């Protein structure tokens, strides 16, 4: 195990550019590598990835390992896992961080199985033991009713997927440079057993970018009925924000899953999060507790959401929301 050194962050690429989650993970990656005196490397796989490489350097990677070619023009679990496995065998990283996106959740388990090592999924916290080098992965457990800290002390590399939005992106430095290592890794014939037939973008997913929003106004079961989400939307519109929702509201069919915040939805960290009629179950708190400022509106003064809120309004959301929206309109005018 002493052969394994340095921490890798897998940089997911979309249309040649780095997706936010990979850049977010360079922050905790930098903190952990500095703590143990190792290097931080970004791994970029794809085709036409120059912009992603530049971004990885700007956000703090010491090295950038690039596997580029026609074999990687479109994501496939077989091809990308093959490339990651070949790179891992060659360079022997101690730790690999992967975003818990649909792609990361597909590739991460496949990679860990092939390497005969462990994987901790859907992490919301990262620390490192500076003596042993063991990463302490924190994730919700038992249905989100408690947080577990998991270590993988007996095998390397340590692999974990981390939810988007858990860590905030640092400030990029466009003048920063990094060592770029380009690897030619052709995929053997027969490795890829799937074919991409067509790409279909769900309209709701394209419209709701919760992870990137600075302001989120979320509604829960306390709204009473789906029509009252119009009150949430009105406040979000006047603030220039987007609409979120609790799992209870989504499960009731009041709004699409694309809006869901929480353990089984999106993890967000906006500058302002307004929770309207949301009680504050731990599953929901796991997805939004990293917000800079939290405002809770609930008629139950003992609702758990008030324990994490910076500001609380005890009242009926159907009365508070229109008054708040109108007050903000007057202020802006």
Q: Based on the domain organization, do 33 and 73 belong to the same domain?
A: yes
Position 235 in a domain: yes
pTM of the full structure = 0.79
Residues 214 and 168 in one domain: no
Last residue of a domain, one of 122, 152, 183: 183
Residues of the chain with pLDDT under 50: none
Report long-range pairs for 261-267 (Cβ below 8 Å, ≥24 apart). Answer: 261/210, 261/216, 261/218, 261/287, 261/288, 262/286, 262/287, 262/288, 263/122, 263/140, 263/144, 263/287, 266/164, 266/165, 266/210, 266/211, 267/124, 267/163, 267/164, 267/165, 267/166, 267/211
Residue 196 has a pLDDT of 85
The range of the structural domain enclosing residue 59 comes to 7-183
CATH assignment at residue 32:
3.40.50.620
* Within-domain flag for 315: yes
**The pLDDT of residue 290:** 82
Q: Residue 64: its pLDDT value, please?
A: 98
Same-domain pairing of 63 and 113 = yes
Which parts are annotated binding residues? 221, 246-247, 260-264, 277-284, 298
Residue pair 67/186 in contact by the 8 Å Cβ criterion: no
Q: What is the pLDDT of residue 143?
A: 67
| Residues 31 and 164 occupy one common structural domain | yes
Q: Which residues are annotated as a binding site for FAD?
A: 221, 246-247, 260-264, 277-284, 298
How many domains is the chain partitioned into structurally? Answer: 2
Identify whether residues 24 and 139 lie together within a single domain: yes
Together in a domain, 236 and 265: yes
């Amino acid at each position: 195990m002493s052969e394994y050194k340095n921490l890798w962050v897998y940089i997911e690429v979309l249309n040649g550019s780095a997706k936010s989650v990979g850049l977010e993970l360079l922050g905790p990656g930098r903190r952990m590598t500095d703590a143990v005196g190792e290097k931080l490397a970004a791994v970029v796989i794809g085709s036409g990835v120059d912009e992603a490489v530049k971004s990885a350097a700007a956000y703090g990677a010491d090295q950038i390992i690039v596997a580029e070619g026609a074999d990687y023009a479109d994501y496939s679990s077989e091809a990308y896992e093959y490339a990651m496995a070949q790179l891992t065998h060659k360079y022997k990283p101690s730790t690999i961080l992967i975003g818990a996106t649909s792609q990361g959740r597909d590739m991460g388990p496949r990679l860990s199985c092939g390497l005969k090592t462990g994987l901790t999924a859907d992490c919301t916290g990262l620390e490192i033991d500076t003596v042993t080098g063991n990463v302490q992965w924190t994730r919700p457990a038992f249905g989100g009713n408690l947080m577990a800290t998991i270590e993988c002390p007996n095998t390397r590399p340590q692999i974990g997927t981390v939810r988007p939005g858990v860590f905030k992106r640092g400030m990029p430095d466009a003048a920063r440079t990094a060592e770029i290592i380009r690897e030619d890794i052709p995929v053997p014939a027969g490795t890829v057993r799937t074919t991409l037939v067509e790409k279909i973008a769900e309209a709701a997913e394209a419209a709701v970018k919760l992870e990137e929003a600075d302001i989120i106004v979320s509604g829960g079961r306390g709204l009473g009925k789906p029509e009252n989400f119009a009150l949430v939307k009105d406040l979000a519109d006047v603030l220039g924000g987007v609409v979120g929702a609790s799992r209870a509201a989504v499960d009731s069919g009041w709004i699409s899953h694309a809006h869901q915040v929480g353990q089984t939805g999106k993890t967000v960290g906006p500058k302002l999060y307004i929770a309207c009629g949301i009680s504050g179950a731990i599953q929901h708190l796991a997805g939004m507790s990293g917000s800079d400022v939290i405002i809770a509106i609930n008629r139950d003064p003992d609702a758990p959401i008030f324990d994490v809120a910076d500001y609380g309004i005890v009242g009926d959301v159907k009365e508070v929301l229109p008054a708040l929206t109108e007050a903000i309109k007057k202020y802006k005018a």
